């Protein structure tokens, strides 16, 4: 099993697309193991986008991600990172394939609805950045607890 981070950016939250986006991942068989709705503080945004510091679009990324609420989602499943990246589509919505989240729902460049971790090391680091220790659900343990509670 693999875990990855998805952020539904302020445009997706403002347009009421959190449910639609999460449903696509769940229909594909991925499990939501963490979910937070938050206004992103500047330091968190800066750390999240640190890899882009100094690039011409860095300030715009930080400004946009802090402009409104974000849904931070931890997903789990086999090959979760690659699966999520395929479902999300190319960065620019006008270049994303139909059937992808950005291809179907995206409008423009930076306002492309969603962020998804691009590799396992990135996913691990981003999940630690957005979720504290113990905030992610362990489904195996949760299922065992449900079975015991029903007996």
Query: Model confidence over 66-111: pLDDT tens digits?
Result: 999 999 999 999 999 999 999 999 989 999 999 999 999 998 877 8
| Residue pair 32/73 in contact by the 8 Å Cβ criterion | yes
CA distance 114 to 111: 8
Average pLDDT, the chain: 92
Please give the share of the chain, as a percent, with pLDDT higher than 70. 92
Q: Which CATH class is domain 2-150?
A: alpha beta
Which one is catalytic: 48, 52, 56, 115?
Answer: 115
115 is catalytic: yes
Residues recorded for the chain: 151
86's tokens: 């395929």
Token reading at 52: 């882009």
Angstrom distances, CA of residue 26 to CA of 22, 69, 73: 6, 22, 12
Whether this prediction's pTM lies above 0.85 is answered by yes
């Amino acid at each position: 099993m693999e875990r990855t981070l998805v952020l539904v950016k302020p445009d997706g939250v403002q347009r009421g697309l959190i449910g639609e986006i999460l449903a696509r991942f769940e229909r594909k068989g991925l499990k939501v193991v963490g979910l937070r709705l938050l206004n992103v503080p500047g330091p968190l945004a800066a750390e999240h986008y640190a890899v882009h510091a100094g690039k011409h679009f860095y300030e715009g990324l930080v400004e946009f991600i802090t402009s409104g609420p974000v849904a931070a989602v931890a997903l789990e499943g086999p090959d979760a990172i690659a699966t999520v990246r395929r479902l999300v589509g190319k960065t620019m919505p006008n270049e994303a394939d139909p059937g992808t989240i950005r291809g179907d729902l995206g409008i423009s460049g930076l306002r492309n609805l969603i962020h998804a971790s691009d590799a396992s090391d990135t996913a691990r680091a981003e999940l630690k950045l957005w979720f504290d220790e113990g905030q992610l659900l362990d489904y195996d343990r949760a299922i065992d607890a449900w079975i015991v509670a029903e007996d």
